[in-house]
Amino acid sequence: MAETTLFEKICAKEIPAAIVHEDDLCVCFKDISPQAPIHYLVIPRKPIPRVGEAGPEDQSVLGHLLLTASQIAKNEGFSDNGFRLVINNGPDGGEAVPHLHVHLLAGRPLKWPPG
Ligand code: AMP
Protein backbone atom coordinates (compact mmCIF):
# COMPACT_ATOMS: atom_id res chain seq x y z
CA MET A 1 0.00 0.00 0.00
CA ALA A 2 1.24 3.53 -0.81
CA GLU A 3 2.64 5.54 2.09
CA THR A 4 0.35 8.20 3.59
CA THR A 5 1.36 11.57 2.18
CA LEU A 6 1.84 14.81 4.07
CA PHE A 7 -1.32 16.19 2.47
CA GLU A 8 -3.41 13.18 3.54
CA LYS A 9 -2.21 13.90 7.07
CA ILE A 10 -3.30 17.54 6.70
CA CYS A 11 -6.75 16.35 5.53
CA ALA A 12 -6.97 14.07 8.57
CA LYS A 13 -5.79 16.94 10.84
CA GLU A 14 -2.81 14.86 11.95
CA ILE A 15 -0.55 17.71 10.81
CA PRO A 16 -1.57 21.34 11.38
CA ALA A 17 -2.24 23.67 8.45
CA ALA A 18 -3.86 27.07 8.04
CA ILE A 19 -7.12 25.81 6.58
CA VAL A 20 -9.04 28.28 4.44
CA HIS A 21 -11.92 26.04 3.33
CA GLU A 22 -13.00 22.43 3.63
CA ASP A 23 -15.93 20.37 2.42
CA ASP A 24 -16.74 16.73 1.70
CA LEU A 25 -14.47 16.53 -1.33
CA CYS A 26 -11.59 18.92 -0.77
CA VAL A 27 -9.49 20.96 1.63
CA CYS A 28 -7.85 24.33 0.94
CA PHE A 29 -4.97 25.57 3.11
CA LYS A 30 -2.19 28.15 2.97
CA ASP A 31 1.05 27.08 1.33
CA ILE A 32 3.83 26.94 3.92
CA SER A 33 6.26 28.65 1.52
CA PRO A 34 4.15 31.27 -0.30
CA GLN A 35 5.27 32.40 -3.75
CA ALA A 36 2.77 35.27 -3.86
CA PRO A 37 0.89 37.33 -1.23
CA ILE A 38 -1.92 34.77 -1.57
CA HIS A 39 -0.80 31.17 -2.10
CA TYR A 40 -3.24 28.41 -1.24
CA LEU A 41 -3.35 24.73 -2.10
CA VAL A 42 -6.66 23.07 -2.96
CA ILE A 43 -6.47 19.30 -2.59
CA PRO A 44 -8.93 16.44 -2.94
CA ARG A 45 -9.60 14.35 0.16
CA LYS A 46 -9.16 11.36 -2.13
CA PRO A 47 -5.41 10.62 -2.37
CA ILE A 48 -5.00 10.93 -6.15
CA PRO A 49 -1.20 11.16 -6.59
CA ARG A 50 -1.24 13.53 -9.55
CA VAL A 51 -3.59 14.69 -12.31
CA GLY A 52 -1.89 12.31 -14.77
CA GLU A 53 -3.14 9.42 -12.66
CA ALA A 54 -6.70 10.64 -12.28
CA GLY A 55 -9.33 8.56 -14.07
CA PRO A 56 -12.81 9.11 -15.48
CA GLU A 57 -14.22 8.35 -12.02
CA ASP A 58 -12.43 11.49 -10.76
CA GLN A 59 -14.11 13.89 -13.20
CA SER A 60 -16.42 15.46 -10.64
CA VAL A 61 -13.73 15.89 -8.00
CA LEU A 62 -11.37 17.49 -10.54
CA GLY A 63 -14.10 19.95 -11.53
CA HIS A 64 -14.83 20.60 -7.88
CA LEU A 65 -11.21 21.62 -7.20
CA LEU A 66 -11.33 24.31 -9.93
CA LEU A 67 -14.76 25.61 -8.98
CA THR A 68 -13.78 25.73 -5.31
CA ALA A 69 -10.59 27.66 -6.07
CA SER A 70 -12.60 30.14 -8.13
CA GLN A 71 -15.23 30.49 -5.39
CA ILE A 72 -12.55 31.11 -2.75
CA ALA A 73 -11.09 33.86 -4.97
CA LYS A 74 -14.55 35.46 -5.21
CA ASN A 75 -15.28 35.07 -1.49
CA GLU A 76 -11.95 36.62 -0.53
CA GLY A 77 -12.33 39.48 -3.01
CA PHE A 78 -9.32 38.91 -5.26
CA SER A 79 -11.09 37.28 -8.20
CA ASP A 80 -11.52 40.54 -10.16
CA ASN A 81 -7.82 41.44 -9.89
CA GLY A 82 -6.94 38.00 -11.20
CA PHE A 83 -5.36 34.83 -9.95
CA ARG A 84 -3.48 31.82 -11.27
CA LEU A 85 -4.17 28.11 -10.83
CA VAL A 86 -1.22 25.74 -11.28
CA ILE A 87 -0.98 21.95 -11.18
CA ASN A 88 2.55 20.52 -11.20
CA ASN A 89 2.72 16.96 -12.51
CA GLY A 90 5.78 14.72 -12.20
CA PRO A 91 9.49 15.55 -11.94
CA ASP A 92 9.76 17.96 -14.89
CA GLY A 93 6.50 19.61 -13.82
CA GLY A 94 8.00 20.50 -10.45
CA GLU A 95 5.81 18.21 -8.37
CA ALA A 96 7.18 17.71 -4.84
CA VAL A 97 4.23 16.22 -2.97
CA PRO A 98 2.58 13.15 -4.58
CA HIS A 99 -0.98 14.14 -3.68
CA LEU A 100 -2.81 16.13 -6.34
CA HIS A 101 -2.99 19.83 -5.46
CA VAL A 102 -4.03 22.98 -7.25
CA HIS A 103 -1.93 26.04 -6.39
CA LEU A 104 -4.06 29.20 -6.11
CA LEU A 105 -1.79 32.25 -6.46
CA ALA A 106 -2.81 35.90 -6.31
CA GLY A 107 -2.06 39.29 -4.82
CA ARG A 108 0.57 40.48 -7.31
CA PRO A 109 0.98 40.54 -11.11
CA LEU A 110 2.27 37.09 -12.07
CA LYS A 111 4.77 36.77 -14.90
CA TRP A 112 4.45 34.51 -17.92
CA PRO A 113 6.04 32.19 -18.93
CA PRO A 114 6.82 30.60 -15.55
CA GLY A 115 10.41 29.53 -14.85
P1 AMP B 1 4.44 21.02 -5.69
O2 AMP B 1 5.85 21.45 -5.91
O3 AMP B 1 3.50 21.42 -6.78
O4 AMP B 1 4.34 19.53 -5.33
O5 AMP B 1 3.94 21.84 -4.44
C6 AMP B 1 4.03 21.41 -3.13
C7 AMP B 1 3.74 22.60 -2.27
O8 AMP B 1 3.46 22.16 -0.96
C9 AMP B 1 4.90 23.60 -2.15
O10 AMP B 1 4.47 24.87 -2.64
C11 AMP B 1 5.21 23.62 -0.66
O12 AMP B 1 5.58 24.89 -0.19
C13 AMP B 1 3.90 23.13 -0.06
N14 AMP B 1 4.00 22.50 1.24
C15 AMP B 1 4.88 21.55 1.64
N16 AMP B 1 4.65 21.20 2.91
C17 AMP B 1 3.59 21.94 3.34
C18 AMP B 1 2.87 22.03 4.57
N19 AMP B 1 3.19 21.28 5.64
N20 AMP B 1 1.86 22.91 4.65
C21 AMP B 1 1.53 23.69 3.58
N22 AMP B 1 2.16 23.64 2.40
C23 AMP B 1 3.18 22.78 2.28
Nearest-atom number in ligand 1 for the CA of 29 is 21
Query: Is residue 63 included in any domain, yes or no?
Result: yes
User: Does residue 1 have a pLDDT over 90?
Assistant: no
Query: Is residue 115 included in any domain, yes or no?
Result: no
Q: Is 39 in the pocket of ligand 1 (CB under 6 A)?
A: no
Nearest CA to ligand 1 atom 12: 33
Query: Is residue 79 included in any domain, yes or no?
Result: yes
| Residues catalogued as catalytic | 101
Query: Is residue 85 included in any domain, yes or no?
Result: yes
What is the domain-level CATH number for residue 78?
3.30.428.10
pLDDT tens, residue by residue, 40-96:
999 999 999 999 999 999 999 999 999 999 999 999 999 999 999 999 999 999 999
pLDDT at 3: 82
pTM greater than the 0.95 cutoff: yes
Into how many domains does the chain fold?
Answer: 1
The one-letter amino acid code at 93 reads G
